[in-house]
Amino acid sequence: MAELKNTKQRGAILRFLENSPDPVSAEDIFVLLKPSFPQLALSTVYRNLERFTSSGVLQKINFEDGVIRYTLAKGHDHYLICTGCSKKIKLDDCPLSPLELQLAKATGFEIERHSLTIYGKCPDCQKKRGTRAVVKKVERTQ
């Protein structure tokens, strides 16, 4: 792929994503950058996000809520998503690191990144429904 020409709009999109702690949609980027770039079109934002994604700078995140979000491609992301209220909780620790190493060793595959999204009900939604998460201790037998 040809190198992308560095424009003020592309630079602003990347800076916005670099400073965003969470994945953001094209619409969010457009609304926040439009005052600084009055000529900016939503289609331009989408086009640049697709170019950055195909070049490996960004990755798409799909929380299955009808909105595609973008974040810097920096390894891996992990989220808990409430199916009741759509609350998103980013997990800082990577529960897949041991599996990733095992898979790489077993297959020779060079793993670049992964994404993990777990869906369920947050404590607030459980209270509204009158249910609570049940955690059972599982004993391993040999």
pTM attached to this predicted model: 0.62
Mean pLDDT computed over 12-38: 94
* Total domain count, the chain: 2
Of 50, 73, 96, which residue is a domain's last?
73
Q: What is the pLDDT of residue 141?
A: 43
**Is residue 38 predicted with pLDDT exceeding 90?**
yes
Spatial separation of the C-alpha atoms in residues 47 and 45, rounded to whole Å: 6
State whether 126 and 81 are in the same domain: yes
Confidence label for 4 from pLDDT (cuts 50, 70 and 90):
low
Q: Domain for residue 138, yes or no?
A: no
Spatial separation of the C-alpha atoms in residues 71 and 50, rounded to whole Å: 12
State whether 104 and 52 are in the same domain: no
**Is residue 139 predicted with pLDDT exceeding 70?**
no
Of the candidates 53, 110, 61, which has an alpha carbon nearest to the alpha carbon of residue 88? 61
Q: What is the CATH number of the domain that holds 62?
A: 1.10.10.10
Q: What is the pLDDT of residue 137?
A: 46
Looking at per-residue confidence, does 131 or 55 come out higher?
A: 55
Looking at per-residue confidence, does 12 or 78 come out higher?
A: 12
Domain that holds residue 43: 1-73
111-121: b or e for each residue (b if 16 or more CB lie within 10 Å)? eeeeeeeeeeb
State whether 51 and 111 are in the same domain: no
